[in-house]
Amino acid sequence: MRIFEDTYRHKGLRKKLIDSLRERENGITSEAVLEAMNNIPRHYFLDSALDHIAYEDRAFPIAEGQTISQPYTVAYQTELLQVKPHEKILEIGTGSIYQATVLAEMGAKVFTIERQKKLFDASKKFVLKSRYPNIKFFYGDGFEGLPTFAPFDKILITAAAPFIPPQLIKQLKTGGKMVLPLDAGESQRMLRLTKLEDGTYEEEMFHHFSFVPMLKGKSGGR
């Protein structure tokens, strides 16, 4: 059985990574985001063989051809989301659970959906489950969202969306925000939408990133 340990060495490498996210070009300015990430042992979310590179600012493969997003991307999306404690946040694309954990560490109530059965099943054995009872896991299609638990204060899409999913706009509170990488071919433009009282939304555009695609329907289940 794997033994999870957050050693001084891990903590030191993590601190360096966090400093680099703050200092780089278009660096992260939200200390709340950086502090949350500094509190989470990212190497727990990767195969133990990748332990020594867990604190490089890179994306890595996880199971089922999916990825754990690059730390800078996680920090960037989280900063745009302007997370406040106790907010209800819907995340599309659970993947490695790292992004969901960052939101939970910031005090949010996190509802996260994954379309790949194997990745969803892995969440049942999530090593930090008892530390983050504020994360709820769902197996389903993120295009549909979670109507039963709506409305949400914030929605975060962590896969490249081919269009803005209309069901997710419906599930956002008035004044609520959604952050998503919108597909435009090779790379995606990061967008932040704010829902207005009349049900429409305001759009802000940010930098380009590269995400795995947001796909329709569920995979791997019955």
Residues found near ligand SAH in the complex (CB under 6 A): 66-69, 92-93, 95-96, 98-99, 113-116, 119, 141-143, 158-159, 212, 214-215
Comparing CB distances to ligand SAH, the nearer of 13 and 119 is 119
Torsion region of 163: left, alpha or beta (phi above 0 gives left; psi -120 to 50 gives alpha): beta
Q: Are 27 and 21 in contact (CB under 8 A)?
A: yes
| The token pair that represents 164 in the structure block | 């803005």
Distances in Å between the alpha carbon of 117 and those of 59, 113, 180?
Answer: 21, 11, 23
Provide the minimum distance between the beta carbon of 124 and ligand SAH in the complex, in angstroms, as a whole number.
16
Residue from 69, 96, 130, 187 carrying the catalytic annotation: 69
Distances in Å between the alpha carbon of 27 and those of 20, 73, 79, 114, 216?
Answer: 8, 11, 11, 29, 33
Comparing CB distances to ligand SAH, the nearer of 93 and 176 is 93
Comparing CB distances to ligand SAH, the nearer of 14 and 115 is 115
Provide the minimum distance between the beta carbon of 99 and ligand SAH in the complex, in angstroms, as a whole number.
3
Provide the minimum distance between the beta carbon of 115 and ligand SAH in the complex, in angstroms, as a whole number.
4
Q: Are 32 and 5 in contact (CB under 8 A)?
A: no
219 in active site: no
Provide the minimum distance between the beta carbon of 196 and ligand SAH in the complex, in angstroms, as a whole number.
25
Comparing CB distances to ligand SAH, the nearer of 9 and 216 is 216
- The contacts of residue 10 (CB under 8 Å, 6+ apart) are 41, 43, 54, 55
DSSP H/E element including 114: strand 109-114
Distance CA 56, CA 37 (A): 13
Provide the minimum distance between the beta carbon of 94 and ligand SAH in the complex, in angstroms, as a whole number.
6
Bridge partners of residue 157, in order along the sequence: 92
Comparing CB distances to ligand SAH, the nearer of 79 and 141 is 141
Active-site residue list: 69
